[in-house]
Amino acid sequence: MPEQALREKIIAALKTVQDPDLHKDIVSLGFVKNINIDGGKVRFDVELTTPACPVKEQLRHECLSKVQALDGVDHVDVNMTAVVRSSESNKPVLPGVKNIIAVASGKGGVGKSTVSANLALALQMAGARVGLVDADIYGPSIPRMLGIPITSPKGGPDNKIYPLEKYGMKVISAAFLAKEGQPLMLRGPMLGGIIQQFLQNVDWGELDYLIIDLPPGTGDVQMTLTQRAPLSGAVVVTTPQEVSLIDAEKGVKMFFQVKVPVLGIVENMSYFICDGCDKKHTIFKSGGGKTLAERSNVPFLGEVPLVSQVVESGDNGCPIVMSDPDSPVGKAYRELAGKMAAQLSIAQAAGEKAETTFELAWKS
Does 348 lie in the same domain as 214? yes
Strands 209-213 and 18-19, by their bridges, are: unpaired
Q: What is the residue-averaged pLDDT of the chain?
A: 83
**Residue 336, pLDDT score:** 94
- Residue 275: pLDDT over 70: no
Q: What is the DSSP string of 154-218?
A: PB-GGG-BPPEEETTEEEEEGGGGS-TT------HHHHHHHHHHHHHTB---SBSEEEEEPPSSS
> What pLDDT digit, counting tens, does each position of 81-131 carry?
999 988 765 555 677 899 999 998 877 778 889 999 999 999 999 999 999
Identify any residues that bridge with 44 across adjacent strands, giving them in sequence order: 78
Please give the Cα distance from 33 to 27 (Å, whole number).
9
Domain hosting 58: range is 3-82
Does 303 lie in the same domain as 253? yes
Q: Over the range 316-347, which residues count as b (16 or more CB within 10 Å of their CB) and which as e?
A: ebbbbbbbbbebebbebbbbbbbbbbbbbbbb
Q: What is the DSSP string of 113-138?
A: HHHHHHHHHHHHHTT--EEEEE--SS
pTM: 0.86
| Overall average pLDDT of the 10-30 stretch | 93
Neighbouring CB atoms inside 10 A of 205's CB total: 12
Does 321 lie in the same domain as 178? yes
SS3 250: helix
Of 82, 115, 140, the position where a domain reaches its end is 82
**Residue 117, pLDDT score:** 94
Q: Which of 231, 215, 214 lies closest to 358 in space, CA to CA?
A: 231
CATH number for position 72: 3.30.300.130
> What pLDDT digit, counting tens, does each position of 309-349 carry?
888 888 888 999 999 999 888 999 999 999 999 999 988 88
Model confidence band, residue 356 (pLDDT cutoffs 50, 70, 90) = very low
Does 274 lie in the same domain as 253? yes
Neighbouring CB atoms inside 10 A of 97's CB total: 24
Of 82, 114, 133, the position where a domain reaches its end is 82
**The total number of structural domains that make up the chain:** 2
20 vs 215, more confident: 20
- Residue 273: pLDDT over 50: yes
- Overall residue count recorded for the chain in this entry: 364
Q: Give the sheet arrangement for strand 32-38, strand by strand.
A: 32-38, 41-48, 75-82
Model confidence band, residue 354 (pLDDT cutoffs 50, 70, 90) = very low
CATH number for position 280: 3.40.50.300
**Residue 42, pLDDT score:** 94
**Residue 352, pLDDT score:** 45
Alpha helices in the chain (DSSP H): 3-14, 56-68, 112-125, 142-146, 188-200, 220-228, 242-257, 288-296, 308-315, 320-323, 328-349, 358-363
> What pLDDT digit, counting tens, does each position of 58-83 carry?
999 999 999 999 998 999 999 999 99
